[in-house]
Amino acid sequence: MDCQKFLDHYSEFIDGRIQEEVSREMEAHRHGCERCRGYSRTFETGRELLQELPTLDVPPDFRPRLDHRIFHLEDGKSLARPSLGSGATMASVMAVAALLAFSAWAPAVGDVEPRVELPAVVVGAPPGASFTPARTNPTFPATRSLFTTTEFQDGIWGDSHDLLREYSPVLDHRRSQPVVRVGIE
């Protein structure tokens, strides 16, 4: 038995897990070797001190905290447990949501766009009077109080605006084409 072998088997030696013969050899080596005796003494002293260390106590709030956690564990389980009522509710909610999503997205996804024929909006003469475009410069009354509705309308539809109206491509387009509005019916 040498020191290295003593160290290799020391743990099993002190736990009594080696054969009787090897144990006797270990004991004999320890008796004769100052170095290994010192090692053994150091370990035993350290072990004694280790076992004298105060042990921790469970704090007073440990049980209430654990109790609380387990209560919520049970609570969560009961909420998660499938039942007919909650299942039916969930299914109906999902169905309504799917329906709404489908109706919202169907026009965008599908090929058919709803086309609604509406009568053309044509800007014509001012209501009430037959319209004759004035070729002269509009005249404005001196004071606002003397400015009648008819004069105002004539003034608005003076020849500068008339030109705009006559050559407006938008107006021509609107006259010839029915207005098509695209959207949800």
Partner 1 sequence: MNAKPAIKIQPKKAEKAGRTARPGRLRFKDLTDSQVVQQFLDGDARAFGELVDRYDKRLLNFVYRTVGDRERAQDLIQETFVRVYRHLHRFDQTKKFSTWIYTIAGNLAKNELRNRSRNPLVLFQTIKKNWEADHRPLEWEDPKLRPDDLYRKRHLKELVENSVAQLPEHHRIVFVLRELQGKTYEEIAEITGCNLGTVKSRLNRARNNFARIIAPLLD
The residues binding partner 1 (CB under 8 A) are 7-8, 10-12, 15, 17, 39, 42-43, 45-47, 49-53, 55-60, 62-67, 69-71, 73-74
Is 29 within 8 Å of 6 (Cβ atoms)? yes
DSSP category for residue 157: T
To the nearest whole angstrom, how small is the minimum distance from the Cβ of residue 29 to partner 1?
16
Tokens standing for residue 177: 């084409």
To the nearest whole angstrom, how small is the minimum distance from the Cβ of residue 79 to partner 1?
13
Tokens standing for residue 167: 């050559």
Q: Which is nearer to partner 1, 43 or 140 (CB)?
A: 43
Q: Provide the strand spans (E) within the chain.
A: 115-118, 179-182
To the nearest whole angstrom, how small is the minimum distance from the Cβ of residue 102 to partner 1?
41
Angle at 126 between CA 120 and CA 131, to 5 degrees: 105
Q: Which is nearer to partner 1, 39 or 131 (CB)?
A: 39
Residue matched to tokens 């290994």:
36
* Dihedral over Cα of 125, 126, 129, 134: its sign: negative
Q: Which is nearer to partner 1, 47 or 161 (CB)?
A: 47
To the nearest whole angstrom, how small is the minimum distance from the Cβ of residue 75 to partner 1?
9
Q: Which is nearer to partner 1, 12 or 162 (CB)?
A: 12
